[in-house]
Amino acid sequence: MEKYNVAEVGKVIYLNFNEDITGATKFTLILEPRYGSNKTITQDIIVGTVTKTVNNERYQENQYIEYVTKENDLDKSGLWQKKGKALFSQAKELITDYKRFTVLE
């Protein structure tokens, strides 16, 4: 499970779609703490263009997104979950499963 620190800025959050997402026109990253308000992020999300391993999982180029944390993104400690959306058209939107991560005090 991925681990971050409260108020950590500059840490990359990865989310794997396991499908080519280069044709998507809009991306959304949803960060949900167990308690508190969700964070819906639509800016500064990029498609990963290099195959890499993240927490022992292989992420293929053009199949995952990256987002660099900013101030107030991770504002509470505890168990969180994240989910991504890639919008291709009115008729097609790809949505990932939730993936849990921990935010440490």
pLDDT tens readout for residues 44-60? 999 999 999 998 999 99
- Rounded to two decimals, what is the model's pTM? 0.93
Please determine, for residue 1, whether its predicted confidence score (pLDDT) is greater than 90: no
Residues 21 and 15: their CA atoms lie apart, in Å, by 12
Residues 15 and 105: their CA atoms lie apart, in Å, by 23
- pLDDT, average across residues 30-39: 94
- pLDDT, average across residues 85-105: 96
Rg of the chain on CA atoms, in Å:
13
Contact 104, 3 (CB under 8 A): yes
Contact 51, 61 (CB under 8 A): yes
- Domain residue extents for the chain: 2-100
- Which residue bears the tokens 């819906």? 40
